[in-house]
């Protein structure tokens, strides 16, 4: 296994590179922040004894921005001079509610100052940006752990709008999404992507292969639609039929296969009782024999039975 050794080597390189990189991060941040010359007075009013858990942010990296303390407040909320002069009359420059709420673009702009990169680089123009979602519709910076960074928190948030998936995720055949074992973000990037359905991998099949590597092949005997698009046969969010199938065998197979003899026959109610044809309908239907539907690597596996 060359791969793991190379991987460990590369992790070591990251460590060395990180340790030897110039230590200029804090200076870089302060240069860009545009904070006022005077020390902001946020924490004189927004005290630890307030009802709202404002100070919980200091348990997070957001509370350390620009050196932490009140300086971190203005790094997101702006200098807010008017608010400092008249705290009950004037809102902060950027406010996320509930009392005052800045326009979505302003609120998001505060976040994008730092986060318009990496996984968030496609936010502008993405579906959620076009729907005018605010960052704080999903995220909460003033908490030690943003719920959206957990699979469970994502589920609650995403399903509040994606109601069709609410029901699909509970169908008899499904992925372990309700259990938090598969997160929405394992497959989708809610911050936008250039890919279809904001998938994290470049193609739909690559997305599926992230967990189902054994189906990557290439196989000696390929099943052509399988290589193209898993969703020809599977519903990833859940299905009435087992194995997330869009339809049940033998009918699903017969949507594309009508060869002489048994593949062309009608499998109606008689075929569940007749011993001459129940082998094609009962049990695993076509897969009683053609179990290698994702491809076979056997020299005699042309019919996906080996």
**Region of 26-34, 38-46, 74-82, 94-102 interacting with another protein (CB under 8 A):** 26-34
CB-CB contact of 91 with 102 (8 Å): yes
Between 73 and 84, CB nearer to another protein: 73
Helix/strand/coil (H, E, C) string of 209-254?
HCCCHHHCCCCCECCHHHHHCHHHCECCCCECCHHHECCCCCHHHH
Q: CB 69 → another protein: shortest distance, Å? A: 12
Q: CB 169 → another protein: shortest distance, Å? A: 10
121 is a site residue for another protein (CB under 8 A): yes
Between 39 and 298, CB nearer to another protein: 298
Nearest CA-CA partner of 160 in 203, 118, 190: 190
**Residues 222-241 contacting another protein, CB under 8 A:** 222, 224-225, 227-229, 232, 239-241
Distances (CA, A) of 115 to 22, 57, 106, 118, 144: 22, 17, 14, 8, 19
218 is a site residue for another protein (CB under 8 A): yes
Grouping H, G, I as helix, E, B as strand and the rest as coil, residue 133 is coil
**Residues 44-83 contacting another protein, CB under 8 A:** 48-53, 55-56, 58-61, 64, 68
**Residues 169-198 contacting another protein, CB under 8 A:** 170-172, 176, 178-181, 193-196
**Residues present in the chain in total:** 306
Q: CB 188 → another protein: shortest distance, Å? A: 15
What distance in Å separates the CA atoms of residue 101 and residue 95, rounded to the nearest whole number? 5
168 is a site residue for another protein (CB under 8 A): yes
Provide the phi-psi class of 67: left if phi over 0, else alpha when psi is between -120 and 50, else beta. left
246 is a site residue for another protein (CB under 8 A): yes
Q: CB 81 → another protein: shortest distance, Å? A: 26
């Amino acid at each position: 296994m060359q791969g793991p050794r190379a991987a460990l080597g590369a992790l070591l390189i990251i460590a060395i590179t990180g340790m030897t990189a110039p230590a200029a991060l804090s200076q870089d941040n302060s240069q860009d922040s545009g904070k006022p010359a005077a020390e902001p007075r946020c924490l004189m009013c927004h005290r630890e004894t307030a009802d709202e858990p404002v100070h919980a942010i200091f348990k997070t990296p957001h509370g350390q921005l620009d050196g932490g303390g009140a300086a971190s407040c203005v790094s997101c909320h702006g200098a807010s001079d008017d608010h400092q002069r008249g705290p009950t009359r004037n809102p902060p420059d950027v406010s996320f509610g509930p009392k005052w709420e800045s326009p979505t673009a302003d609120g998001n702009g505060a976040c994008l100052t730092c986060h318009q990169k990496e996984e968030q680089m496609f936010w502008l123009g993405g579906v959620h940006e076009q729907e005018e979602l605010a960052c704080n519709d999903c995220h909460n910076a003033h908490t030690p752990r943003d719920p959206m960074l957990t699979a469970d928190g994502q589920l609650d948030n995403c399903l509040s709008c994606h109601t069709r998936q609410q029901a699909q995720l509970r169908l008899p055949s499904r992925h372990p999404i309700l259990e938090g074992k598969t997160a929405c973000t394992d497959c989708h990037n809610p911050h936008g992507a250039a890919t279809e359905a904001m998938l994290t991998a470049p193609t739909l099949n690559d997305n599926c292969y992230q967990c189902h590597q054994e189906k990557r092949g290439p196989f000696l005997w390929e099943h052509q639609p399988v290589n193209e698009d898993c969703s020809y046969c599977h519903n990833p969010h859940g299905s009435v039929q087992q194995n997330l199938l869009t339809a049940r065998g033998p009918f699903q197979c017969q949507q594309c296969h009508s060869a002489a003899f048994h593949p062309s026959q009608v499998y109606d109610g008689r075929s569940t009782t007749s011993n001459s044809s129940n082998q094609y309908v009962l049990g695993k239907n076509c897969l009683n024999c053609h179990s290698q539907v994702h491809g076979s690597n056997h020299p005699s596996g042309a019919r996906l039975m080996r």
